[in-house]
Amino acid sequence: MPHHSRIAEVVLEGEALTRLNDELEADRATAVADILHENRFVPAGAPKGPYRLHLGLIEGRLAFDIRRADGVPITAIVLAMGPFRRLIKDYLMMVHAHVEAVGEGRETRIQAIDMGRRGLHNEAAELLRRRLDGKIEVDFDTARRLFTLICVLHQRLTH
């Protein structure tokens, strides 16, 4: 993979708004680490990267503020949140259910929730890739991880 078609840094806008629960904080940390380890991110018409991605919610819309590695702005892509709302709500419910199942030591329930969460992540990744089509090219795994970060942002906004 060419070094220039990737995210080198992820910044979640408004990170200081609230403290996440431990499970969402772990999801956030893992998603960011995985994105930084390996991703494909190619903004249409942008100069070669690597890129610094500032991901945030602005007036209820999802903003991909894309910058050069030195912080100079390149472009911003804004998407409506509506198509993602059900998936975000379901994801956050599954995170809560997972925390409960772990607390109760219910291994079969934990496995079922994990399977459901994977399926939800896959559906959300496909939706995100469709919504970004023609704007930003991302691979499937990067889209899955970005969806996790979108859920974290949404949780911070609502709590």
Q: Which domain holds residue 91?
A: 7-158
User: How many domains does the chain contain in total?
Assistant: 1
Asked whether residue 1 is domain-assigned, the answer is: no
Asked whether residue 36 is domain-assigned, the answer is: yes
CA distance 157 to 58: 10
Flag whether the pTM goes above 0.95: no
Q: What is the mean pLDDT of the chain?
A: 90
> pLDDT, tens digit, for every residue of 51-74?
999 999 888 899 999 999 999 999
CA distance 79 to 132: 8
Asked whether residue 20 is domain-assigned, the answer is: yes
pLDDT of residue 15: 52
